[in-house]
Amino acid sequence: MAETKSLAVVGGGQMGSGIAQLGAMHGLHVWLLDTDPAALSRATKSISSSLQRFVSKGQLSQAAGNEALKRLKCTSNIEDLRSADIVVEAIVESEDVKKKLFIELDKITKSSAILASNTSSISITRLASATGRPRQVIGMHFMNPPPVMKLVEIIRGADTSDETYHVTKALAERFRKTVICSQDYSGFIVNRILMPMINEAFFTLYTGVATKEDIDTGMKLGTNHPMGPLELADFIGLDVCLSIMKVLHTGLGDSKYAPCPLLVQYVDASRVGRKCGIGVYDYRKPSPRL
């Protein structure tokens, strides 16, 4: 089985920057690509401060943190990804946009490269069928934030080879993650269960059953969840939550997955959560709660 030496990550948002950081922390040469230069400069800042947090907690030496930063390069030129052994895509959760990228990656990367997607819910089989190498396409779904959360969900498309699965699993284990494996059906394992709960929390708010604070407190203290569902939705991004609910709704064909109108309305109003300063809660004020 070929050892992964170089990693490319496409999309330098909250997930892509964390995945790139993991690669650099675990000795890989990493290219981080984003079409938006501002996203790359935000990613570099957030990676440096996250590495510094690992150093101050004694989980990484200062020298190892500095070395990790040196192994990371940012680019907006896709040609730089030519020599990557594995590309992990973490761009916007849209099948059309992801497919276009996979077609491009298929053209420019070396023929042995694995093309992985961090998609939360989109069909790996359909992304794979946009390329000429479906055996080397796989889902590698990190949890947010990738440097901290211990799970990677690996999704095998209809044609994903055993070799591709084993190389991807070995990479996740090198990052010290626990791996679970899902077949390629909408939402996979984690979001198939999590997103309907978040959507139900929006319905609970929308129909006036309770305040946002009581919904979150209820789930935190009542079910031992570290974050309430509405806080968690703000953390994930309401746009990402809505995209996943749409995939569950169309992919599984059951009206129980219809996105809550309130979730739709927040996204229409560009209230997409922490990343923009406002979602269910307002993070622009001194107190995080409205």
Give the residue numbers marked as catalytic.
120, 141, 153, 191
Using the minimum distance from each CB to ligand NAI, give the nearer residue, 76 or 207: 76
Binding site for ligand NAI (CB under 6 A): 10-16, 33-36, 39, 90-93, 97, 101, 118-120, 141-142, 144, 236-237, 240, 275
Q: For residues 127-144, b (16+ Cβ closer than 10 Å) or e, as one string?
A: bbbbbebbebbbbbbbbe
CB of 36 to ligand NAI, least distance (A): 4
Q: For residues 95-113, b (16+ Cβ closer than 10 Å) or e, as one string?
A: beebbebbeebbeebeeeb
Phi, psi of 278 (to 5 degrees): -150, 135
Say if residues 119 and 139 touch (Cβ distance below 8 Å): yes
CB of 39 to ligand NAI, least distance (A): 3
CB of 43 to ligand NAI, least distance (A): 8
Nearest residue to the partner ligand NAI, using Cβ:
13
Give the CA-trace dihedral at 81, 140, 47, 284, to 10 degrees. Answer: 120
Q: Which residue, 210, 197, 214, 185, is CA-closest to 260?
A: 197
Tell me whether residue 209 is exposed, middle or buried, using C-beta atoms within 10 angstroms of its C-beta: 0 to 12, 13 to 18, 19 or more: exposed
Say if residues 105 and 115 touch (Cβ distance below 8 Å): yes
Using the minimum distance from each CB to ligand NAI, give the nearer residue, 3 or 131: 131
CB of 52 to ligand NAI, least distance (A): 21
Distance separating alpha carbons of residues 180 and 169, to the nearest angstrom: 9
Using the minimum distance from each CB to ligand NAI, give the nearer residue, 145 or 218: 145
Q: Are strands 29-33 and 6-10 parallel, antiparallel or unpaired?
A: parallel
Using the minimum distance from each CB to ligand NAI, give the nearer residue, 103 or 221: 103
Residue 10 bridge partners (DSSP): 33, 89
Q: Are strands 151-156 and 137-142 parallel, antiparallel or unpaired?
A: antiparallel
Using the minimum distance from each CB to ligand NAI, give the nearer residue, 25 or 88: 88
CB of 38 to ligand NAI, least distance (A): 8
